[in-house]
A and B are shown apart, each in its own frame.
Chain A
Amino acid sequence: MNLFVFVKRVPDTESKIKINHETNSIVEEGLNFVLSPYDEYAVEEALQIREAKGGQVTVFSVGPDETQTILKKCLAMGADEAVLIKDGAGETYDSLRTAKIISQVLKTKHTQFDLLLFGKQSVGADSAQVPSMVAALLDLPQVNVVTDLEIEGNAGSALREIEGAREKVTFMLPAVVSAQKGLNEPRYETLKGIMAAKRKEIPVVTLEELGIQPDELTIQLELTKIESPPARERGKIIEDEPGEAAKKLAEFLHQDAKVI
């Protein structure tokens, strides 16, 4: 099995987000960048499939040079190869742009694969679009938000989460699958893995090499403003005998908030 995993470098979930209103962007200084949490499930799933069926796991990321760090982490977890697709554009919030770059890689440079694994969304842009877009551009089946995946020969079956239920989806390989929490328990890197990852070369592919014309990557979502959410006014905090407190809360919900 030739397993490809697509990962993104994002600020960790502890991050407080500061805005530079002049440049209309997120202040990156001081942020700790990590492998996006859902991508860990995708990497783990690829490793488990390789362990069960044999094959090779290659991890790709589109981003700046600093993205090497998360690719090293994936190698340390056990991935065989990693490829950096260098893109200096920064966060554009335009998923089609990323999906076009990825599908160009898959059409021109790395054309042999059975399964394309993604996290169900990156933590940050939160768009949850790239997997479906890559599937569309390559005319492949897709299953998103997957909590259970089975591969038999060249057929797959997955459970995906929907409101109050799970859908069972069947498809043929090659296919696009995006991982949700619950799919597996991502492993930690081993010391041996970290040492091996350090020595490993990560090839870099540029957009020019891919033959993508800049006008194909025109951003169609024009960012007009980034702002902080409206601050919530400080509410009423009471410390009372439980019965009395419960009564006051119920009254608040009924009379002031009018939600009950």
Chain B
Amino acid sequence: MILVYVECRDFKIKQSSLEALSEAKRRGDEIGIETTAVLVGHAVDALAPEVFRYGASKVYILENALLAHYSPSGFTQALVSLIEEIKPEIILFAATSMGKDLSPRLAAELGVSLASDCIQTAAKNGKLEVKRPIFAGKAFASFMLNSSPQMASLRPNVFPLAEPVDGHGETIKKEVVIPENQVKDKVTEILKAEGAELDVTEADIVVTGGRGMKGPENFDLLRELTAVLPHSALGASRSAVDAEWIDHQHQVGQTGKTVSPSLYMAFGVSGAIQHLAGMSSSKFIVAVNKDPDAPIFKVADFGIVGDLFQVIPPLKEELKKILSE
């Protein structure tokens, strides 16, 4: 069986978990094993129907009031007891902040290795082969997972969501017994970023500003673009972050976030190797830069050589026009 860890935040399932579940179902069917899911937390059973819609035939619910808030040690304890009981061949996570925190702890607890942030999976002789970027995407490495269970986390926004079906399945509730002192690291508060902006790793469209934006106030021009574009987020080069024009949560690149949205728009970004590493797997790349020799044009599908301050206002109007049609 394949077991997919399905992450919930604010009583909603993360889209990237559904992507992982969709991929699990494709591979599970190919290998000929069952696809199942696990939800951990408190009062999460209402979410089971949505999990069935993406192909799980069983959903395990690990319930405990102590797990109402995320705890890597607590969640690991809960998962280990389930895994020892049901013995899945493959365990998949979405490589979200929680997935990247929890999956290695679980893997070590189970004594197995883990391939993180994979961008491709394939079934080979009943096992998984995965591909993952190394050096922030300057190269790709493929691995056969030779451990038992096999474990991988999948990069958000890369794997296609399955068409939801009118699925049903079995919900299996497990009371988890965890001594309170086994919950060693507790989330006690979540501080939302102002404006509750979408994270660059989760957005379909990333609108990025570099040093060419000239100052923090001009990022408002980009915010106006993100207001027009559906499911979009604001990105930044390290130069813009280091100048304190924008918070480093927005930084894209080798020492920022790696993104692969459908559309990446770079304004006043030169395209340094560290920046390209974080965004060159985007499906479409657009760049506006006044320097025709800027390296960003080497990866751009569409580039405008020109002054971003003159291009953005008419661009916003054109996009609005198209989107209102």
For the complex, give the distance between the alpha carbons of A124 and B283 in Å: 23
State which of B185, B190, B199 has its C-beta within 8 Å of the C-beta of A143.
B185
Give 12 pairs: A residue, B residue, CB < 8 Å, sorted on A. A26-B139, A132-B72, A159-B191, A162-B98, A164-B197, A166-B193, A171-B184, A221-B113, A225-B142, A237-B292, A243-B314, A246-B314
In the docked arrangement, what's the CA distance between A103 and B172, Å?
Answer: 36
CB pair A11–B135 under 8 Å, yes or no, is yes
Q: Which residues of A contact B (CB under 8 A)?
A: 11, 13-17, 19, 26, 37-38, 93-97, 99, 123-137, 140-145, 159-172, 175, 181-182, 219-229, 232-240, 242-243, 245-247, 249-250, 252-254, 257, 259-260
Residues of A contacting B: mostly: mixed
Q: Contact partner of B73 among A142, A160, A163, CB < 8 A?
A: A142
- Docked-complex contact A242 and B70, CB < 8 angstroms: no
Kindly provide the distance from the CB of A59 to the nearest chain B CB, expressed in whole angstroms.
20
- A129 and B106 CA atoms in complex are apart in Å by 11
A145 to B199, CA, bound (A): 15
Interface presence of B83 (CB below 8 A): no
B43 within 8 Å of A (CB atoms): no
CA distance A238 to B303 in the complex (A): 6
Q: With A17-B138, A132-B108, A135-B105 given, can you name 13 additional A-B contacts, CB distance below 8 Å?
A: A95-B113, A141-B72, A144-B100, A159-B191, A160-B101, A164-B197, A181-B255, A220-B113, A224-B129, A229-B138, A246-B315, A250-B315, A259-B284
Pick out which of these stretches binds chain A: B27-35, B143-151, B160-168, B215-223.
B143-151
Q: In the complex, which residue of chain A has the Cβ closest to the Cβ of B255? A: A37
Min CB distance B149 to A, Å, is 11
Decide: B263 and A170 in contact? CB cutoff 8 A.
no
Q: For this complex, into which size category does the number of interface residues on chain B fall?
A: 35 or more
Q: Which residue of A lies closest to B322 (CB)?
A: A254
Among B107, B138, B277, B285, max chain A CB count under 10 A is at B138
The reply to whether A96 and B112 form a contact with Cβ atoms under 8 Å apart is yes
Instruction: Check B139–A228 contact: CB distance below 8 A.
Output: yes
Contact status B192-A165, CB under 8 Å? yes
Contact of B17 with A by CB under 8 A: no
- Spot the interface stretch: B45-53, B59-67, B84-92, B294-302: B294-302
Given contacts A163-B201, A175-B185, A246-B314, contact A237 B104 (CB under 8 A): no
Which 5 A-B pairs give the minimum distances between C-beta atoms?
A: A250-B318, A129-B104, A136-B108, A141-B184, A133-B108
Given contacts A168-B187, A247-B314, contact A234 B322 (CB under 8 A): no
Q: How far is the CB of A100 from chain B (nearest CB, A)?
A: 8
Given contacts A128-B100, A170-B188, contact A163 B306 (CB under 8 A): no
Q: Hey, which chain A residues are within 8 Å of B97, CB to CB? A: 145, 160-163
Expressed in whole angstroms, the Cα–Cα distance for A85 and B253 within the complex equals 31
User: Chain B nearest CB: distance from A243 CB in Å?
Assistant: 5
**Contact residues in B for A93 (Cβ distance below 8 Å):** 134, 141, 143
CB nearest to A244 among chain B residues: B314
Name A96's closest neighbour in chain B (CB-CB): B113
